[in-house]
């Protein structure tokens, strides 16, 4: 078959959409074909683009958006939202939606380190100052990839961005996109992204490492390698009227070519000791005062945890207080006892020393909770460094 000609499958798809009366979907599909054949058959591509511009089926009463170029806004104008009357595309077999949607509304700002928060706020500032950028011949950041361990705020940041921009948030549902049928996953992926392009939105490609692995990885089947190509093309063609965000816990798995496609890389870090304290105060909410004397101790135990893990601990404390099953002191003691065994020895010594210096517990109790000897605690408090066990120096 001549690859410069429209295939029979493509003709069937156009006919199916036209017969079903799905004009917008048909236009998007034709726009995709126009891009596909631009290099292979310039005349065919030109004809398709001409049909898209004329669009006589819509009549003269409305001026439809051109799917061949992104939306543009005038300063101060309200940004059009995604058309809620058109449901997101579905997988042809399961009939499940390829995109998860979140309702518009206020979202609380996530816990973030100063550096990450600054990068997120820059994304917002660029879109709020679109007119200034346009006058300088510039566009706001179109795409960003969020990198970090689970629970550090990547998904919450995407939700907060959408809330601040008053845009619909779509999240690609990988469980539905991935199909057992050869070639279907790529079609699902394109359909989902093309739908999101219809009007300004924030699209989150969560766990993008699942569909954009390094193409040199011989353990992957050809289908996954084709998905990488789809993602590369869609990121290249993403309109600056919307924001495309990818998120990953495993940056080392992502194809190198994809990294170059994203305008920004935001590295989400685990909170430092001050960040842990701030998170505890926020998540403990109205009960924070009851734990005030224990915040520094809890921060030492939770150092290295994600914001999500810290929130779970705080919520467990609040539930116990609400039910009357423990006091702040008993809850913290039990928590130290259960968690200190997981801490490195040096960190347990720091914890035991801090408890002794604050006078919160007796040395005997501290030793029992942290498995640090009372002699070691006394020496550390006195400023001595405990000797490591082994052969004495000659």
Alpha-carbon gap, residue 150 to 20, rounded angstroms: 42
Query: Which pLDDT belongs to residue 223?
Result: 65
**pLDDT for 288:** 95
pLDDT tens for 5-26 read: 667 767 867 777 677 666 666 7
More confident residue, 308 or 219: 308
Residues 307-333: tens digit of each pLDDT: 999 999 999 999 999 999 999 999 999
Return the residue matching tokens 């408890």: 355
So what's the pLDDT on residue 222?
Answer: 60
pTM: 0.72
Convert the pLDDT of each residue in 40-80 to its tens digit.
777 777 777 677 665 443 333 334 444 333 333 333 334 44
Give the model's pLDDT for residue 5.
65
| More confident of the two residues 131 and 229 | 131
């Amino acid at each position: 078959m001549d690859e410069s000609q429209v295939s029979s499958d493509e003709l069937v798809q156009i006919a199916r959409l036209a017969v079903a009366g799905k004009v917008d979907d048909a236009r998007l599909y034709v726009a995709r074909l126009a891009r596909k054949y631009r290099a292979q058959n310039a005349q065919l591509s030109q004809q398709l683009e001409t049909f898209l511009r004329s669009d006589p089926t819509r009549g003269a009463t409305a001026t439809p958006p051109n799917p061949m170029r992104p939306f543009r806004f005038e300063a101060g104008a309200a940004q059009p939202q995604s058309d809620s009357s058109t449901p997101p595309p579905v997988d042809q077999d399961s009939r499940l939606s390829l995109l998860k949607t979140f309702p518009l509304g206020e979202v609380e700002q996530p816990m973030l380190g100063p550096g990450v928060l600054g990068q997120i706020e820059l994304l917002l500032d660029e879109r709020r100052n679109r007119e200034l950028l346009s006058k300088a011949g510039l566009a706001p950041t179109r795409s960003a990839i969020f990198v970090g361990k689970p629970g550090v705020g990547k998904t919450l940041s995407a939700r907060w961005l959408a809330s601040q921009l008053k845009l619909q948030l779509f999240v690609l549902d990988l469980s539905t996109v991935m199909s057992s049928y050869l070639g279907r996953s790529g079609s699902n992926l394109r359909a989902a992204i093309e739908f999101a392009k219809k009007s300004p939105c924030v699209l989150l490609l969560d766990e993008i490492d699942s569909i954009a692995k390094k193409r040199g990885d011989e353990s992957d089947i050809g289908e996954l390698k084709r998905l990488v190509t789809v993602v590369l093309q869609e990121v290249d063609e993403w309109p600056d009227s919307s924001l495309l965000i990818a998120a990953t816990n495993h940056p080392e798995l992502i194809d190198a070519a994809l990294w170059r496609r994203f305008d920004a890389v935001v590295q989400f870090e685990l909170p430092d000791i001050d960040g842990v304290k701030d998170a505890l105060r926020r998540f403990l909410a109205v009960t924070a005062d009851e734990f005030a004397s224990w915040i520094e101790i809890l921060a030492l135990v939770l150092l290295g945890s994600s914001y999500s893990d810290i929130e779970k601990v705080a919520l467990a404390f609040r539930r116990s207080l609400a039910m009357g099953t423990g006091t702040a002191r008993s809850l913290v003691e039990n928590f130290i006892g259960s968690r200190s065994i997981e801490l490195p020895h040096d960190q347990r010594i720091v914890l035991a020393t801090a408890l002794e210096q604050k006078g919160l517990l007796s040395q005997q109790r501290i030793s029992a909770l942290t498995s640090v000897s009372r002699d070691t605690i006394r020496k550390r408090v006195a400023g001595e460094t405990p000797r490591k066990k082994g052969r004495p120096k000659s």
